[in-house]
Structure 1
Amino acid sequence: VLYLDPPYTSMQYSNAYHVLNTISQNERPTIHGISGRPEGRNVSPWASRPKVEAEFRQLVDSANFEYLVMSYSNESIMPMDLIADVMSSYGKYQRKEMQYKKFKSRKEAANEIYVTEYLHVLHKAN
């Protein structure tokens, strides 16, 4: 079983959650902005709209698994139709969905109160 919970947005985890790595590696990065984001961190292709499709296709094609399970939301950068097309071309594909109350970091940031979380499941054909 291969379980994926990739980034949903263009926010880079390495920028937002860098403090423990910065401390453990005794780094002194140049930071900017209100949140103190470091410059020059790795950029994940999963968090890039132009790169995510190729990264996803390559992983499904080359990874060794019988079942692939991926959690992804309706607010993600990769369209649901693309995920379904890619996964169904490798075997039996199913999608489950569940609504959750949306996290709001700022009151004015979100108009909708729910987000739909999808669980994409592929049983890869041999």
Structure 2
Amino acid sequence: MKLKDLRPFVPSKDYEQSKAFYLALGFNLEEAGPDLCILIKDQCTFFLQRYYNEEFASNLMFQLVVYDIDDVMTVISSVTNIEMKHSPIKNEPWGKVIYLWGPAGELWHITELNR
């Protein structure tokens, strides 16, 4: 089996707010229907859906591996019109990480690995 891509479906409590959140982070958006869009950044994509389940959303986590975590912190810090709940950069034995919570409660582990 050879994989090509893995594209999760991310819930939104407020669909328009979630779209604005991801656009502010630098994702591009392609509409895929009235209740679904695809968010794209470099080679990474995921679906954002107009669907919300609190228990699911608050337990949903992703790891987004980046080349330069300082660059990510600059992007997050420059967003002024949307609330960005996040941790400072944390050093771990395997690399650095920022925890960023999306508008529906989804948690992004934005990671720069040591290797």
TM-score (norm 1): 0.30
The structure carrying a bigger strand percent of its residues is: 2
Max Rg structure:
1
TM-score (norm 2): 0.32
